[in-house]
Amino acid sequence: MKTKAAILRQCGQPMSIETIDIAPPQNNEVLVEVKASGICRSDLNSYFDPATPLPIILGHEGAGVVKALGKGVTHVKEGDHVALSWVPSCGNCFYCLKGTRQLCDTVAQHLFNGTLLDGTKRFTRDGTKIGHYSLISTFSNHTVVPAKSCVPIPQELPFEQACLLGCSVATGWGAARKAGNVQAGDHVAIFGSGGVGVAAIMGAKGARADKIIAIDRKLVNLENAYTSGATDSFLAPEANDKKSSQDLTAKIMKLTAGRGVDCAIDTTGHTAGFEGAWYATRKGGTIIVVGAYMAKTMSIPSTGFHQKAKTIKGCFYGDIDPYKDLQHLANLALQGELPLGSLIRRRVKFNELNDAMLALDDPKTCNMGRTVLTFD
Ligand SMILES: [Zn+2]
Ligand SMILES: [Zn+2]
């Protein structure tokens, strides 16, 4: 069949909107009509990354309707509404069998090589194959995905909200609830109040944390943090401003009886955020690292490291079970505990997609909530 998609043909150059051919789903695959797709910073990173296999259809936060099933698919049927996960865990590898499906080795092999799980492609234009991105390529009106990427969701949940579940919301909520294990009465500091940070704030609020302290460089993001459940907020210092960093730590100490928070979550992607999180955390507390750092190293003092007994934990895909927990998150959204609508700042069509992607890099507009590509 034919469908319309945004194709990245040259690294860093505008994606072109083209009509392409899409082959039927093969064994354990599903054809999905994408109704909405979030635009994530990882899409922009791949847009500029010379290692991205081209041509390719980006997009990895999607929701839509099941249109056709390949052989062997039994857990969804035509017409089901689904949120898409870019971690369709295999269930058979070492990590899946250990119960850490988000670390699935089979997924890791294919995530960035431009194919589906069997190493082949379903998209073509004039006979030339076009690559898949993060196994789900949601910047396309129709996409073929691994069956396990399809997570059935209630029909009442709007697609523009459901699409956010599979990346930013899973990552942020899971950082607080799964990796950070935030409990009622805890004090939590969340560095960065973009899509992931705000989802972490919602997760901490849902756990009934006492203090939820948001830290960000932009006032507008802190306002968003408040409406999502933060109890306190501070402007983040500029990079290398040691005095302001110390002041920030002192303010957090003052709010937490001089101890520091039980859990600090860094969603900034900057090592300064990690360092802030380290100093903000009490003895025996936990630091969760979510952002992908570009810097090669990060530093914390070695003196007294053992006495402080802090845990530093990297967190991939929110430490969630990609299938079970996405369904739970969809239900939390319907119950009002995850007000996903408040994360959406802008809705765009295909003709605005390139501008919306580049806006993620513009200091004036980046981090100001999620932009959603819609197809109707
Ligand atoms: Zn993402
Ligand atoms: Zn696996």
- Pairing status of strand 62-69 against strand 29-39: antiparallel
Nearest CA to 21 out of 6, 4, 7, 9 is that of 4
What is the pLDDT at residue 220? 86
Nearest ligand to the C-alpha atom of residue 91: 2
Give the Å distance between the CA of 374 and the centre of ligand 1.
17
Nearest ligand to the C-alpha atom of residue 106: 2
What is the pLDDT at residue 370? 87
Give the Å distance between the CA of 40 and the centre of ligand 1.
5
Give the Å distance between the CA of 42 and the centre of ligand 2.
22
Nearest ligand to the C-alpha atom of residue 94: 2
**For residues 175 and 169, what is the distance between their CA atoms, to the nearest angstrom?**
10
**For residues 175 and 264, what is the distance between their CA atoms, to the nearest angstrom?**
10
Give the Å distance between the CA of 187 and the centre of ligand 2.
34
Kindly report the CATH class assigned to 181-314: alpha beta
**For residues 222 and 206, what is the distance between their CA atoms, to the nearest angstrom?**
19
Nearest ligand to the C-alpha atom of residue 133: 1
Give the Å distance between the CA of 262 and the centre of ligand 2.
32
Give the Å distance between the CA of 83 and the centre of ligand 2.
20
Asked if residue 213 lies in contact with residue 190, where contact means CB atoms within 8 angstroms, the answer is yes
Give the Å distance between the CA of 149 and the centre of ligand 2.
13
What is the pLDDT at residue 361? 79
pLDDT mean over 282-289: 98
Sheet holding 211-216, edge to edge: 232-235, 211-216, 187-191, 261-266, 281-289, 311-314
Q: What is the pTM of this model?
A: 0.93
**Which band of pLDDT confidence, cut at 50, 70 and 90, is reported for residue 161?**
very high
pLDDT for 88-103, tens place per residue?
Answer: 999 999 999 999 999 9
The string of DSSP codes covering 14-25 is PPEEEEEEEPPP
pLDDT for 5-19, tens place per residue?
Answer: 999 999 999 999 999
Asked if residue 103 lies in contact with residue 95, where contact means CB atoms within 8 angstroms, the answer is yes
pLDDT mean over 344-348: 93
Cα–Cα distances (Å) from 214 to 10, 83, 232, 235, 261, in that order, read 38, 28, 6, 8, 12
Give the Å distance between the CA of 330 and the centre of ligand 1.
17
What is the pLDDT at residue 365? 63
Nearest ligand to the C-alpha atom of residue 62: 1
What is the pLDDT at residue 366? 60
Quick one: what percent of the chain has pLDDT higher than 70? 98
- In CATH terms, 2-166+320-374 corresponds, of 3.20.20.60, 3.10.270.10, 3.90.180.10, 3.40.50.620, to 3.90.180.10
Q: How many of the other CB atoms lie within 10 Å of CB of 373?
A: 27
Query: Would you call the peptide bond into 14 cis, given omega within 30 degrees of 0 as the criterion?
Result: no
pLDDT mean over 68-78: 98
List, by residue range, all CATH 3.40.50.720 domains of the chain.
181-314
Nearest ligand to the C-alpha atom of residue 104: 2
